[in-house]
Structure 1
Amino acid sequence: MKVQGRMFIWLSVFILAMAIVYGVWSKEPAGTTALFLAFGLSIMIGYYLAFTARRVDTGAQDNKDADVADDAGELGFFSPHSWQPLALGVGASLAFLGVVFGWWLLYFSAPIILIGIWGWVFEYYRGENQNQ
């Protein structure tokens, strides 16, 4: 995780430099704003990875003498089959289309997004996946 954190932090430094250069040369607000937002996202991810790397065990990717097999094993729990991301994707697509075609489309997308979030959060508290 340390390597990924450093990569994102250096990426954010590069994006910040490019945002400043682009803003000075082009005087175009949309692209400059997008680059500054990309800087913000990159620095948040880099800080999170660097902050988390100090609190977790050293992974094989942080050891220069590690083999590929050293990082084998269980990586975590992932839902084997869930329909909730599909509902969230459809709801988010409708919401973003609402920006293009009209804000009235948000009246249809908001309930779909809320149902998807509710279903995803409580997926393992009901039905066949309920924990005993």
Structure 2
Amino acid sequence: MNTTSKIFYIIGTFFLVVGIVYGVLSHGSEPMGIEPVGAIALPGAFAMSFMIAAYTGFKAKSFPGRPDDDHDAEVEAEAGVQGSFAPYSWWPLWTSLGAAMVFLGVAVGWWLSTFGIILAMYGVIGWVLEFSRGQHAH
């Protein structure tokens, strides 16, 4: 996972540099002084990239010796179970629709982002608690 965190650090650094250049070059082209969508989207992409990089970096300490960090590893070293995924789950649909509404709200109007945040939170909570049967389940 060290490789993954390095890749996301590189991507985040790219978004940081592009965001700074974009802010400098677009300053004064809008009536308010700065173009609002790019001024929010590029630092947001920088923050999300660094958040993923930090998470995978912390997890790399818990799982040392992953095949993707070994330069001499064979393809077969990554074989096996990759995770447990819920079949036929509707929660990713609601989560993605909420996220789409949030991003569309940046371009259309902030009121739409409010509804998107509510829908996305509903989807994420339902997705996380999909297999929860309560505190006293047997």
**After TM superposition, is the score higher than 0.5?**
yes
| Larger displacement relative to structure 2 (29-38 or 15-24) | 29-38
| 2:72 aligned partner | 65
Residue aligned with 2:83, SS: coil
- 1:85 pairs with one of 87, 92, 101: 92
Provide the aligned C-alpha RMSD in A: 3.4
Please list every run of 5 or more consecutive structure 1 residues that lacks an aligned counterpart in the other structure. none
Structure 1 residue identity aligned to 2:83: G
- CA shift, 1:64, in A, is 0.3
1:28-61 Cα shifts (integer Å, max 9, x gaps): 3321232111111111111111121122132111
Q: 2:35 aligns with which of 10, 29, 32?
A: 29
Unaligned 5+ residue runs, structure 2? Answer: 28-33
Return the letter of the residue paired with 2:22: Y
TM-score, normalisation: structure 1: 0.70
Q: TM-score, normalised by structure 2?
A: 0.67
Query: How far 1:88 sits from its partner (Å)?
Result: 4.3
Match of 2:53 in 1: 46
**Preserved contact between residue 87 and residue 113 of structure 1 (Cα < 8 Å):** no
- Pair member with larger Rg: 1
**Residue 102 and residue 79 in structure 1: after superposition, are their counterparts in 2 closer, same or farther (change >3 A)?**
same
* CA apart distance, 1:94: 9.2
Percent identical residues: 34
Secondary structure of 2:87 counterpart = coil
Count the aligned residue pairs. 124
Q: Assess if the C-alpha contact under 8 Å between 1:12 and 1:39 holds in 2.
A: yes
Do the aligned partners of residues 119 and 15 (structure 1) sit closer, same or farther apart at CA in structure 2, a change above 3 Å counting? closer
Structure showing the higher helix proportion among its residues = 1
Deviation string, structure 1 residues 71-112 (Cα, Å, up to 9, x no partner): 10111211122233334455x27955x9558959x78x9589
* C-alpha distance in structure 1 between counterparts of 2:111 and 2:75, whole Å: 50
> After TM superposition, what 4+ stretches of structure 1 lie above 6 angstroms from structure 2?
none
Structure 1 residue matching 2:84: 3-state secondary structure: coil
Q: Is the 8 A contact 1:95 1:110 kept in 2?
A: no
